[in-house]
């Protein structure tokens, strides 16, 4: 299961990461976030050693959400070498997520 991070460890875990990172901006009360969670967990398992998956709760980390222009939950950022390469908004299937990851790795 993806580890929850916040502004205090975002730079270390995401921007300075040795591997690409998917950051899941979510809310505890978001239905689409709950639908996305199992597929995102499978991506984390399937790509272990190739990328990291972290979660940022937009209810508690509003400054981070604002900094990355998160307008809807869930929003996934694909970050590689401290650069946001792409983003996905809303719930997606495992197949869609894998296609996305493969294109960006």
Q: CATH number, domain at 34? A: 3.40.30.10
Per annotation, catalytic residue among 30, 65, 70, 97: 30
Task: Look up the domain containing 86 and give its range.
Answer: 3-103
What confidence category does residue 30 fall into, taking pLDDT thresholds of 50, 70 and 90?
very high
How far, in Å, CA of 91 to CA of 14, rounded? 22
Report the side by side order of strands in the sheet with 75-80: 3-4, 52-57, 21-26, 75-80, 83-89
pLDDT one-digit tens code per residue, 31-78: 999 999 999 999 999 999 999 999 999 999 999 999 999 999 999 999
Domain total of the chain:
1
Catalytic entry in 33, 53, 65, 101: 33
Please report which helix (H) or strand (E) contains residue 83, including its range.
strand 83-89
Q: What is the pTM of this model?
A: 0.95
**Average pLDDT for 17-40:** 96
Active site residue 30: yes
Q: What distance in Å separates the CA atoms of residue 82 and residue 28, rounded to the nearest whole number? A: 26
Task: Output the six-digit token pair for 99.
Answer: 């296609």
């Amino acid at each position: 299961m993806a580890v929850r991070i916040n502004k205090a460890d975002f730079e270390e875990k995401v921007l300075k990461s040795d591997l690409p990172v998917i950051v899941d901006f979510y809310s505890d009360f978001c239905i689409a976030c709950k639908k996305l969670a199992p597929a995102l967990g499978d991506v984390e398992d399937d790509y272990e050693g190739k990328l990291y998956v972290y979660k940022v709760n937009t209810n508690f980390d509003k400054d981070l959400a604002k900094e990355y222009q998160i307008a809807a939950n869930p929003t996934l950022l694909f970050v590689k070498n401290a650069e946001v390469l792409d983003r996905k908004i809303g719930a997606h299937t495992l197949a869609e997520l894998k296609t996305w990851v493969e294109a960006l790795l």
